Structure 1
């Protein structure tokens, strides 16, 4: 037996019944002399025998009744009680033996339903907890949560990685003792003080690396309007800030590049209108300058339109079988005037009938820009070397000059729009500062890469790699 409350009550009732039956037997034994003629010792023996028999029968009857009651009532109740205790301790899998007859009662069924409901709620809570944990950890932003007392309750991996903290170091600490940047600490304090949403952009220096973050802090309000703490989300906006800086630089550079030729054209035109056109020599000289500045303005607009078209969605190349020998010849003819003015030669080393899959017009544009760049930054009576090789499944084209060279510190920014190593020389030669940016876009649209190596005073070599066969049509 389980020794439960109900079992003890039934046993007590059985003992009480046995005592009552025994007492009844004793009372009935008092009437023995009335029904027997015997006296003395014989009557006393019969009397004790009657008491013993009565006691045994009372015990047997009480035991039988107690057993039946325990099997029918006490054992199921004790089992249900035991199951309820297990469920209360968190064992939601505990169940009563409802397949047996004595357990087929409303209490057992109710306890099992409670267990089923709690088990489902526990599973749902576990699933929601895992989902929340996965969501928090997979966020691209840092997350920090504080309780009402101001100590950290929760943080995610992005926050740890960004600031170099670990959960064991941060959990339970206040925001003042973590060591956060001052701007972030001030925002957290403002949220605590005002219980209002605050947001600001801050610059963060961690490990010698600077980054920009958008910090959002908000109070956490419960279902009943009670204040539970605050949550802080830190989103890295470094790339957005850099893109904004690039945009500002681009607008400033375009404005400057457009203003310079327009100012020259306007100035020389006003001079001519003021009477300088009467002198044929000055007239011819000024008209030549106006034409040069107009050409520069025209090239700049063409390059801007070309670059804008390449960056627009839907830009694609027309791939065909291209003879690279013919492409290089067309590009050299396109810069022949510049070569003649500086008495320069181009030496080409390429296998006969070098065929690859590419956009012929765009490839000519790439080669013209590379050759023009080499001419602009080379001294007179030097040579440019164009070498073409097949390396594995790529065509490798190298354009090497004997120019002034480029410092190593300048190489990472060489393909930026309007970036010039020597602004004075570039402006004098009519360069727009967009040629190499166009080259990079077109080469990458072919699925290739472009690299540059340079030695100051000895020259620069641009090397582009383009797949011989296009697996799929490339687009930008």
Structure 2
């Protein structure tokens, strides 16, 4: 009997709770029906369609600078976080346009607000959109601005570098004319003129090589090149300069493989690298060229016994016209473009160049280039790191560096 009464009481309590819940739901519905409707932001007709194909980062802001709508590019650039415009410079321009109703544009160098730190150069155009919104358009000009700066620097540097030998040749020609009756002076000045003309010719040739690198695709228009023959030609073209300083060029190791690309450009890169080693090495020393095959790459190391390069300057030696020691470079006759050409050639062939150097212990430049059809090679050959391979890559100059 007690169990029946308990069951009836539980049922009544459940029914009462259900009725209370239903009453609460109907009450909340009546209250909600009395609240004003909040419309989504309404853009002028056609604006959304235009913005979707405009190809720029865009942000739409309301009358209190809140971000109403923004595309993914604006977030990628770090212009917007959540519903807020990040940079105060942009917010100031937006408020100015809202106040006077006149379209404004400007260019800013902004700090990226995303995880990818760095500077962002954007061209911004701000305009009223309808009666209540402001439209901000942003175009990333970072790469364009940097390219223009590099081009301007390059033109300025080329002008300066060309002016030096041309001016020297003009002065030497005048000196020869004035000293026509002095055979010794004429011989001395003509020798100097010949040296300056060679320097001018080398500079012009390097500029042509850089232009060729930037206007061609070595991979698309290349062919399979036997790398050992390229290295042999690069060494042969530097023998005369090496003999003048009493420097021997020692080649160790073997690279019986092919590289896909432009043989002339590869030879130019290696010639410039060996030329650089000879020019910065003391007389009667050795420049070592080490060859090895490893992990599907041809590896070529060029080692000198020169003054070495400090850690701060190692990243900059591949820049155009950068010289660690300007006075010394002028004495050696370098153009300041050799290592830049090396870097561009390697990049165009899918390779890389690295540098090891310490002041007083010389420098080693190492080139790595992908080998053609490495599938046919044995894995042990691709990953060789034996004592004989190491010895072939070091050469006499390397052993001298180890002794020091």
TM-score (norm 1): 0.62
For the 8 Å contact 1:150–1:229, the answer to whether it is kept is: no
3-state SS, counterpart of residue 219 of structure 1: strand
Residue 217 of structure 1: CA displacement?
Answer: 0.5
Rounded to whole Å, the distance in 1 between the matches of 2:365 and 2:250 is 15
Equivalence for 2:94: 188
Any conservation in 2 of the 1:143–1:234 contact (CA below 8 Å)?
yes
Could you tell me how far 1:360 is from its partner in structure 2?
3.7
Match of 1:379 in 2: 282
What is the deviation of 1:163? 4.2
What runs of 5+ residues in structure 2 fail to find an aligned partner? Answer: 1-32, 34-41, 375-404
Which stretch shows the higher mean deviation, 146-155 or 418-427? 146-155
Q: Give 1:425's match in structure 2, choosing from 309, 320, 328.
A: 328
Question: 1:31 aligns to what?
Answer: none
**Which residue of the partner structure matches residue 217 of structure 1?**
126
2:170 is matched with: 266
1:356 corresponds to 2:356: no
1:203 aligns with 2:109: yes
In the aligned structure 2, how far is the partner of 1:417 from the partner of 1:342?
Answer: 26
Q: Give the equivalent residue in structure 1 for 2:243.
A: 340
1:233 aligns with 2:143: no
SS of alignment partner, residue 354 of structure 1: coil
Could you tell me how far apart the structure 2 residues matched to 1:318 and 1:160 are? Answer: 41
**Contact persistence 2:107–2:122 (CA under 8 A):** yes
Partner in structure 2 of residue 257 of structure 1: 161
Higher fraction of helix: 1
Once residues 354 and 314 of structure 2 are traced to their aligned partners in structure 1, the CA distance between those partners, rounded to angstroms, is: 10
Shift of 1:162: 4.1
Change over 3 Å in CA distance of 1:206–1:360 after alignment to 2: closer
Q: Which structure 2 residues correspond to residues 312-331 of structure 1 after superposition, within 5 A?
A: 312-313=215-216, 318-322=222-226, 324=228, 326-331=229-234
Residue in structure 2 matching 1:451, options 354, 366, 380: 354
Please, what is the CA RMSD of the aligned residues?
Answer: 3.0
The residue matched to 1:416 in structure 2 has which SS? coil
**What does 1:13-412 correspond to in 2, within 5 Å?**
141-148=56-63, 150-163=65-78, 166-167=81-82, 170=84, 180-182=87-89, 184-206=90-112, 209-221=118-130, 227-273=131-177, 275-313=178-216, 318-322=222-226, 324=228, 326-351=229-254, 354-358=256-260, 359-412=262-315
Residues 78 and 86 of structure 2 are in contact (CA less than 8 Å); yes or no, is this contact kept in structure 1?
A: no
Using the alignment, how far apart are the partners of 2:91 and 2:65 within structure 1?
Answer: 12
Contact 2:65–2:91 (8 Å) recurs in 1: no
* 249-258 vs 386-395, which moves further: 386-395
Asked whether the 8 Å contact 1:317–1:445 carries over to 2, the reply is no
Give the drift of 1:145: 1.5
Shift of 1:419: 2.0
Instruction: Write the deviation string for residues 196-245 of structure 1: whole angstroms up to 9, x where unpaired.
Output: 22111112235784332211101113xxxxx2321112333222221111
Look up the match of 1:70.
none
1: CA distance between counterparts of 2:54 and 2:299? Answer: 42
Q: Report the number of matched residues.
A: 326
Q: 1:420 to 1:429 in 2, by over 3 A?
A: same
Deviations 1:9-60 (A, max 9, x none): xxxxxxxxxxxxxxxxxxxxxxxxxxxxxxxxxxxxxxxxxxxxxxxxxxxx
Structure number with the bigger relative contact order (C-alpha 8 A, sep ≥ 6) is: 2
Q: CA deviation at 1:152?
A: 3.3
